[in-house]
Each structure stands twice: as C-alpha cells, then as structure tokens.
Chains A and B, each alone.
Chain A
Amino acid sequence: MAVSDVTTSDTYAVSVRRWPITRLLEDERWLAFVLLLPTLVLLGLFIAYPFVKGVELSVTDAKVGVPGSFVGMQNFALLLNDSIFRVAVWNTVVYTAVTTVFKLALGLWLALLLNRNFKGKAFTRAFILLPFIIPTVLSTFAWKWMFDPTFSVINWTLFRLGLIGTRINWLGDPSLALISVIIVNIWRGVPFYAISLLAGLQTINPELQDAAAIDGARPWQRFWYVTWPLLLPVTMVVVLFSVIQTFADFQLVYVLTGGGPANATHLFATYAYQIGVGTGLLSQGAAISLAMFPVLLVVVIVQLLYIRRVETL
C-alpha cells in the first residue's frame, strides 16, 4: 500500500460533511423531539383532533350538513332535563360498576387457575381468549339468539331441566334486559382480565410463594399477603383500560337491544348515536358523548395516581 493511500484521521474528519440537521440532532432535546414527532402526529390526528372537534360541536347547534353557530353550554343544559339521558347515565354507571367487579373477580380466579400446571395448559389458555377474539358484533348476535324471547336456548335448557315453568323474557323485561347486556359484557371481558392478570402472575417470583409456605402461610394468606400486593399495579392498569372501554361501550347494546325496551338499556354511547346520527343533531350527540369525559377523567386520574403510589412504595 502506498503511503499516499493512507488517510489520516484528520483528513477523514475533514472529508465528512456535517449537515445542519445532523448537528441539530446531536442535541438530545431535538433528537427526542424528532423521535416523538410521529407519535405526536398520530395522537394529534386520531385523538386530539376528534376530541377538539367534539368539543367544538358540543357548543354549537350543528346538525348534519349544517355547521351551526355558537350556543355556549345550551346543549349540556338541555341534557339536564332529558329523562332519557338520566336513564342512560344511570345505566352506564351500573353497567360499568357491575361488569368491572365481576370481570375482575372471575378474571382473577381464571388467571390463578391458568397459572397452575396441568395437561393442555396452552390449549386452554388459547381457548379462554375466544370470547375476546371473536368480533363483538358476531358474538353478540349469537347471544341475541340465545336471549330470543321465542327461541332462547337458555330458556329451553332451563325448561327441560324443570327449573322454570314459563319463558324468561330476557331482553323484553327492562331489568332483565340490563342484566342480559351485563352478562354478555362480562362474558366478553373476562378473558382480557384473565390473560392480563396471568401475565402479571407469571412475573411474580415463585420463590416468594415458597418462602411464605415455609413460614407457614396458608394458601389464602399467600395470595393476600404475597400475590395480591405484587399483582396490584397490573390489576390497576387492567381495570383502568376496562373501565374506559366499558363506560364507552356501544356495539354490544346496539346489537342486542338498540337501547330498548323503553330506553332501559341505553348507555352514553348508544344514546349519543341515536341523537347524533339517528336524529341528525350532531351537537347534542357530541354533548352526550362529552358528558362521559369528566367522569372518565376523574377515574383515570385517581387510578394513575394510585398506580404511581403503589410503584413508588
């Protein structure tokens, strides 16, 4: 190799052109900003923009095809005197509270069972996920058939077993209709809890359990004093997601009852849809949707604060 072929480090440094953008990205603050930019754009487009648009709509008298003019809080004031809205609020609270408790209890129970070693474990775990995997509309149609007043397979079974003498009007009776949609929601939601909590359980070191057992802790004590505190952060996140999803649930009720009978199963989302799309009153529909926001905001803040506290303990 000739001497002239050797490139010294000095000449190399000189030969590389450092563009202004390269120099800019060497500053970590700018680099962080650039890396975050795609996420910010996506969030802005698909979350912030619709939200701002929703807020904008809710303070106007916009209808489908008519931009409308500013009316302040009039749409929200109207809601206070709307008896159907009050029913929808009550239903949503009951629906979310009851389903969350049951989904958590059943999901945790299932997760603890699935965390054990048994034959066909992998298959069972995959099978458990089915209700969550099947499109909600599809599975809800199956439930609609099962609750059908005339052809209900549930009624048929109960009747054959001699447990009932007359048909149970699952979706026709107002109280039973709400219970029915709650049952379907629990059925659909338990796998999400079970699999998420199972993932949490598997991060817990089994040695902790063994140590507690050696110290004489009984199964219940081992769960309460060892497993549960360690599982709590995961549980809180799962509950947080679930509450948000359940509070804003739409398709299940839309398919099963359409909000009936006599509004007995209307939730925020189904009523907002009925007003916004069915009646064309976009602004009022937006106001109903936004009425969920303060409640959800409080739930999210409380839970996130709790999670932070648990994590820093």
Chain B
Amino acid sequence: MTRISRRELLKLSGGGALAARAGGMASIVAMKQAPAYAQSTTLHWLRWNDFVPASDALLLKEIVPECEKALGIKLTIEMINANDIQARTTSAIQSGSGPDVICALNNWAQLYPESVADVSDVAEEIGKAQEGYYEESKVVANDGKKWLAVPWCVVGAQLAYRKSWFEEIGYPAGKFPQNWELYRAAGKLLKAKGRPMGQTVGHTFGDAPTYAYPFLWSFGGKEVLADGKTVVLNSKETIESVKFMAGFWKDGYDEGGLAWDDSSNNRAFLSGTCSCTLNGASIYLEAKRKPEAYATENGTPLWQDILHAPLPTGAAGQFGYHLPMSNMLMGYSRNQKAAKEFLRWITSKDVYQKWFDTQQGYTVGATTIWEKDKLWDKDPVMLPYRTAARAGRFPGYEGPADRHAAEVLSKYIIIDMFAKAVQGMPAEDAVKWAHEEVARVHA
C-alpha cells in the first residue's frame, strides 16, 4: 500500500481546496480531481417531479455520478410533487434540517429571505457568463439587496391549439387570433362545434395564475403601483377584464375548467375534447412521445395537429407569466461551500446543456443565452417558447415580487376574482372583493 505522509496529504487537500476557492470550476476541471474539502460531502437537492420524465432520468442516471466525479459531492436528488415542496421547505426551515438545496417555484424564495443563504456570488457569476437573466427570473430570486436563490429555468406558458380545428373556423396554418376579441369569437365558434377552449381558474400553482395575471395586465389592470403599497386593483380596466372573462367563459370555454388542476387541461386536450389551452409544452411533447396513443379524429398523430401561440393582446399590450424556478441554498445547510460549488457547477453551461436538451423546450434557461441554442432549430412548433420569457411579468406588478405578492398569489385572490365572476357574481362586486383582500395583504 502506498503510504502518504502528513505533509503530502496537506499539500494535496490544500491544493484542491485552494483551487476550488481561487479558480472556481476551471481549476477544478484542470486538476482532474475533486476538491478535497468536498470529497466526503453529501448534498441533498429537493425538486419537483418534472413534467418531462427524461429530465429526471438524466439527473439521476448521469448528473449524480458526474457530480461525484467532478466535485466529489455525493448528490441525493429527491423529486416530489410540486404542491408539496412548500410544506417540506417550511418544516425544514423550522426544524433547521433538511435538503441543502431546494428548487423553488414562483417567488417562494422571497418568502424565506431570513432562511436562505446569500448566493449573490454564484448568481452574478452565472448571469455574467450567460448574457444576463430574464427580468422575471431576477425579480423572483433577488430582493433588491442580494440574490436569495440562483435562477434555474422558466417554464414557458403558451397556448397549445388544434391546427385543423382553427383552420375550419378561418385561421389557416400559422394564423391565430391576435387579440382577445378575435380569440373570444374563435372560442365561440369552436364551442358551438363541441370543441371548447379549456382553462382552469381553480386553485392551482401553474395554469390558473399564468393565465389570470397576464389576462388582467393586458387589459391594463394591476394590483399595486410601483411603490408596492398603493393598491389599485379596483379600476375601470380590471372591471373590464372581469366582465370580458365572465362572458368569454360562457361563449368559448369548457365550463368544467373551474375545477381543473394543472394536469386536467393536458388530459382534455390529449383526449380531443379541448381545442386550445394555456400550458407548458407538455401536451405537445407528450403527444409526440406517444404518437400511437394520441391521435386526431382522423387517425393521424395528434402532435402533427398542434401549434403554439402566445396569449392574445389586450388594450394595454401582450403579456405572459411564465413559471420561474430557482435553487435556494438553505441557511441551515452545513455544506454551504460545497452547495455553492454544486450550484455553480450544475448551472454552468456545459452541465446545464445536458438537462436543457432533455427538456426539449419545455423550459427555457433563466439566462438569455439559451435562446440561441441549436435546440430551437429542431422543431419549429416549439419556437414560440424560445423567447416567451421576454414578455414575462410577475405577480405583484407594478410593485416588487415580494412577500405581499406571494401572499396574494398563494391566496389565489386574482384567480378567485375571475372565478367569482364566472360563477355569476357581478364584475364590480368581484373586483371590490379582490381589492379589499389585496389591500388587507398590503396593510
């Protein structure tokens, strides 16, 4: 057995640690061995069950061993239902133990500023190297003073629609109703043919808010002014949007959508009972993955009859709200240094590329560099997702995406405002109710 003296050991381990500290990823790679400080470190990464199973498979089968090889970190990835992440985060923070890194959705990081580590160095480094973050990715993970999380990705939300059915009502391939009036008229025609549009306005973390908020913004409605305090929801514009929604619901939508969860529209669309719905690209990707399982009424593969488009334009413009995700390094973690190295490594271009490829466009990177990726050349149907995050705003607009915005979002106040009107409450009353609730949050 080769004996290593104490001095040699110190040289080796010191070299690794120094390299990691001073030279970052480049020097780790150059040394061709893991930095010594992390050689026995175990990291626990909690994230959602991906809507693209291939991405989860990649993380478990390739990224985990690669991480151990490159950083000497034994990575444990736990994937759970997205709805349960907040409960796990809460119990972890309160008990002071749990996953080292938690992948948060929306602006959850803003709910725990005191309990997450400052990751400004990593976030700034990645942002600088990858041509900057989308505004939406930034506002949810940065509280104006520091980075609370390292932005990970943005789940683009676009309307998936049936090409042939829209052709039948006067929209040849590639054409799509550009404003809400035209879109509503299209919905009316489609519903009359037994092909309603589908949308949830239920209590869901994804599809309901990513529809309701941009809808409100496109009519000019907003929760608060830029000061983040003055609640201005009860406005002519908001009432107009709510009235429009109540009518549109009857005209064009599947009225069962009030009870839909985030996967209901996928099922409805894939089974051919829904003509158009706001969603991530999971409907198209699933139809493409299983062409024999999902077919049109003519027997052709369904995926060949799906196109994507952004939400229509309103009087105040065209907006989107695309679900941002970011990795929080938890303050209680005893592996701060290693966790930062891991975040730096997993978000670095070469490593992230592998994960990004498996997503097939379901998510875009949090940095703008991913718009240029060759992945977008592969499938023109996915192109609308490429730049979707550019038009992204985040709940709380025109104020910051802070704890108040998160509270309004998690109480589903804006969504329920529309849901109440859809159920028959006068628009003025629904808006008044929502305004009072938002004001209570900001009081």
Prevailing SS type, chain A contact patch: loop
Q: Which of A20-75 contact B (CB under 8 A)?
A: 63-66
Chain A nearest CB from B275 CB (Å) reads 13
Asked whether A279 lies within 8 Å of B419 as measured between CB atoms, the reply is no
User: What 1/0 flags go to A74-102 for Cβ under 8 Å of B?
Assistant: 00001001111000000000000000000
- Given A149-B256, A149-B260: A257 and B403 interface contact (C-beta under 8 Å): no
**Within the assembled complex, what's the spacing in Å between the Cα atoms of A275 and B257?**
24
Which of A82, A148, A257, A282 sits near B203, CB closer than 8 Å?
A257
Q: Which residues of B contact A66 (CB under 8 A)?
A: 114
Asked whether A82 lies within 8 Å of B440 as measured between CB atoms, the reply is yes
Asked whether B256 lies within 8 Å of A172 as measured between CB atoms, the reply is yes
Which of B331, B406, B423 sits near A279, CB closer than 8 Å?
B406
Asked whether A260 lies within 8 Å of B94 as measured between CB atoms, the reply is no
**Within the assembled complex, what's the spacing in Å between the Cα atoms of A65 and B201?**
31
**What is the interface residue range for chain A against chain B?**
35 or more
Prevailing SS type, chain B contact patch: helix
**Within the assembled complex, what's the spacing in Å between the Cα atoms of A274 and B411?**
7
User: What 1/0 flags go to A165-201 for Cβ under 8 Å of B?
Assistant: 0010111111001000000000000000000000000
B273 at the interface (CB under 8 A from A): yes
Which of B254, B258, B268, B410 sits near A261, CB closer than 8 Å?
B258
Count of interface residues, chain B, beta-carbon cutoff 8 Å: 42
**Within the assembled complex, what's the spacing in Å between the Cα atoms of A281 and B255?**
33
A278 at the interface (CB under 8 A from B): yes
Which of A65, A172, A177, A280 sits near B255, CB closer than 8 Å?
A172
- Given A81-B440, A149-B257, A169-B258: A262 and B419 interface contact (C-beta under 8 Å): yes
**Within the assembled complex, what's the spacing in Å between the Cα atoms of A235 and B400?**
56
Which of A84, A150, A169, A177 sits near B437, CB closer than 8 Å?
A84
A164 at the interface (CB under 8 A from B): no
User: What 1/0 flags go to B270-292 for Cβ under 8 Å of A?
Assistant: 01010000000000000000000
Which of B94, B203, B271, B423 sits near A65, CB closer than 8 Å?
B94
Asked whether A64 lies within 8 Å of B112 as measured between CB atoms, the reply is yes
**Within the assembled complex, what's the spacing in Å between the Cα atoms of A257 and B208?**
13
Which of A64, A81, A173 sits near B93, CB closer than 8 Å?
A64
B436 at the interface (CB under 8 A from A): yes
- Given A149-B254, A274-B410: A259 and B203 interface contact (C-beta under 8 Å): yes
**Within the assembled complex, what's the spacing in Å between the Cα atoms of A275 and B259?**
21
Asked whether A279 lies within 8 Å of B90 as measured between CB atoms, the reply is no
Q: Which residues of A contact B406 (CB under 8 A)?
A: 279-280
**Within the assembled complex, what's the spacing in Å between the Cα atoms of A149 and B202?**
13
- Given A84-B411, A278-B410: A262 and B423 interface contact (C-beta under 8 Å): yes
B248 at the interface (CB under 8 A from A): no
Instruction: Tell me the nearest residue of chain B to A169, going by C-beta.
Output: B256
Chain A nearest CB from B261 CB (Å) reads 8
- Number of residue pairs across A and B with beta carbons under 8 Å? 115
Q: Which residues of A contact B259 (CB under 8 A)?
A: 147, 149, 169-172, 177, 257, 260-261
Which of A65, A148, A258, A260 sits near B112, CB closer than 8 Å?
A65
- Given A172-B256, A279-B407: A83 and B90 interface contact (C-beta under 8 Å): no
Asked whether A281 lies within 8 Å of B407 as measured between CB atoms, the reply is yes
Which of A63, A150, A263, A275 sits near B264, CB closer than 8 Å?
A150
Q: Which of B194-233 contact A (CB under 8 A)?
A: 201-204
Which of B114, B407, B412 sits near A260, CB closer than 8 Å?
B412
**Within the assembled complex, what's the spacing in Å between the Cα atoms of A83 and B433?**
9
Which of A148, A170, A261, A274 sits near B202, CB closer than 8 Å?
A261
Q: Which residues of B contact A262 (CB under 8 A)?
A: 258, 416, 419-420, 423
B87 at the interface (CB under 8 A from A): yes
B86 at the interface (CB under 8 A from A): yes
Asked whether A167 lies within 8 Å of B256 as measured between CB atoms, the reply is yes
**Within the assembled complex, what's the spacing in Å between the Cα atoms of A34 and B325?**
54
Asked whether B115 lies within 8 Å of A261 as measured between CB atoms, the reply is no
Chain A interfacial positions (CB closer than 8 Å to B): 63-66, 78, 81-84, 147-151, 167, 169-174, 177, 257-263, 273-282
> Which 10 A/B pairs are nearest by Cβ-Cβ distance?
A149-B256, A65-B115, A171-B259, A172-B258, A258-B203, A260-B203, A172-B259, A278-B410, A262-B419, A280-B111
A-B contact pairs, 29 of them (CB 8 A): A63-B111, A64-B94, A64-B115, A65-B93, A65-B94, A65-B114, A83-B436, A84-B437, A149-B256, A150-B256, A150-B267, A150-B273, A151-B271, A169-B255, A171-B258, A172-B255, A172-B257, A173-B423, A174-B423, A257-B259, A260-B203, A261-B202, A262-B258, A274-B410, A274-B411, A279-B410, A279-B411, A280-B112, A282-B94
